[in-house]
Every structure is written in C-alpha cells, then in structure tokens.
Amino acid sequence: MTDIKYYPLIDCDTEGTEKVAMIPAPNSAAVQAQSKMWLEEMIPHHFRLYTQNAHSSTDTFNIRCPRCGTALKRISGAINETKRGLYVCSACAKK
C-alpha cells in the first residue's frame, strides 16, 4: 500500500500554460489551504487534478510530471467542477 501524495501546482511561465508540481505533502487539507490547483497521486504515476475554482479551464495548459518533468497525458475527463481530469506519465509508467 502506498501513501497518497498531494502536489501543489505553480505556473512555470508568465502565460500560465505550463504547470509544475512542488514538493508533495501527505495532508490534503494543508495543500488545499495554500493552492488553487493540485495533483493527487493515489496510484503511482497516475494523478487526479483538483481545482478550487470551478470555472477554470484545464484544457489550456500542460502539467509536468512531478517525478521526471515530462508532460502528463490526460486519460479521463472531469468528475465534477473541482475534481478534474485523470493524468498519467507515460515515461514513468514504462520504467
């Protein structure tokens, strides 16, 4: 059994089209209090995107893998306004 990790996301460019993950935290409440967007890793190399803003468009930016920096690939759509798409890192999954 692995621990769930929460990665706060920050902008990597001035346009806000590239997002990178910061150091993971084991506490979701702490990440939610300080971030508008974060990734949840429940299964290794699979990440669920969460947002506090229900109206933010998640199709307009790239999210980088917290482990290797490769662009994550979205494999499913949003569940609701704050629980967004499911992403996978193809590069890490192959290792």
Q: Give the pLDDT mean for 75-82.
A: 88
Task: Using the Cα atoms of residue 84, residue 68, residue 92 and residue 44 in order, give the sign of their dihedral.
Answer: negative
Q: What is the pLDDT, as a whole number, of residue 60? A: 76
Whether 60 contacts 24, CB under 8 Å: no
Query: What are 13-50's pLDDT values in tens digits?
Result: 888 889 999 999 999 899 999 999 999 999 989 999 99
For the entire predicted model, the pTM comes to 0.88
Q: Name which residue leads in pLDDT, 34 or 53.
A: 34
Query: Which run of H or E residues covers position 20?
Result: strand 18-21
Whether 46 contacts 63, CB under 8 Å: no
Tell me how many domains the chain contains: 1
Which residues form the domain of 80?
Answer: 5-94
